A = this chain, B = another copy of it.
Amino acid sequence: MHLQDATWTDADAVETDLAVLPVGSTEQHGPHAPLGTDVLTAEAVADAGVERYDGEVVVAPAVPVGIAEEHRHFTGTLWVEEDTFRDYVRETVASLAHHGWDRVVVVNGHGGNIAALREVCARISRHDDAYAVPFTWFDAADAPDMGHGGPVETSLLQHAHSDLVREDRLDEAAADGADGWGEWVSGVNLAYDSAEFSENGTVGDPREGGADRGEELLDDASEALSTLLSRVAERDLSDRR
């Protein structure tokens, strides 16, 4: 059930303690993919995973702006501070739990959110009245070539939002993008901003995928999410402190 479309009486009638909170980012994804890529993919995976799961799950509206200062050199990138993001997620989860939906999977579409989500979900699970885990879809799917605006994200969009991928700019995206993320020495990434290593913000070759790959990725990710929901639903939370 999508909360935004439901009335409170509908929501009140649902019998579950499972909720999903999609979390994305509004940030550059090269010249070919939309700024909303991370929200759109998180929502697509959340919907498909919940659909596949055998049971009721409440779906909260997606958090549209996350941790993306690293992309600020590219126009249109929006971001908030890490603490603000964590507070926004933590309190949204707390209000879900207030209604009894206290097992929450945060479905994340953005690499830059991962560490902050792990931190805040640990805090929620240890100190608040909820258990929450962050699920980042491309960490669960078969996506070794993730990059940024690369084959993985582009494929998923080609499948789920084909109108938003600028196919005529894929060559340009590949030409001026980077092969890898960051600038590494001794296990340390010396770069903090994507503009330091990618001319147009892309990492990876977005031509190396396609709608079929996108369908597989969505399938993988939603299967993984469905499995996770089962495990979270069954988990014994009685002595987690």
| CA gap between A3 and B27 in the complex, in Å | 9
Tell me how many residues of A have a C-beta within 8 Å of chain B: 85
Residues of B within 8 A of A111 (CB): none
| Contact bitstring A129-162, B, C-beta under 8 A = 1, else 0 | 0000111100110000000000000000000000
Residues of B within 8 A of A115 (CB): 115-116, 118-119
A30 within 8 A of B: yes
Which of B32, B61, B185 lies in contact with A64, CB distance below 8 A?
B61
Q: Nearest chain-B residue to A71 (Cβ)?
A: B8
| CA gap between A69 and B126 in the complex, in Å | 9
Which of B29, B192, B227 lies in contact with A186, CB distance below 8 A?
B227
Contact A35 B7 (CB under 8 A): yes
A70 within 8 A of B: yes
Copies of this polypeptide in the complex: 6
| CA gap between A156 and B84 in the complex, in Å | 32
Residues of A155-192 whose CB lies within 8 A of B: 164, 166, 169, 185-190, 192
Residues of B within 8 A of A6 (CB): 34-35, 76
Contact B140 A188 (CB under 8 A): yes
Residues of A29-55 whose CB lies within 8 A of B: 29-36, 39-40
* Cross-chain pairs A/B with CB under 8 angstroms, 19 sampled: A3-B35, A3-B36, A3-B76, A4-B26, A8-B201, A11-B35, A39-B61, A70-B122, A76-B99, A77-B95, A83-B87, A84-B87, A84-B88, A115-B115, A125-B192, A126-B193, A188-B228, A190-B231, A193-B240
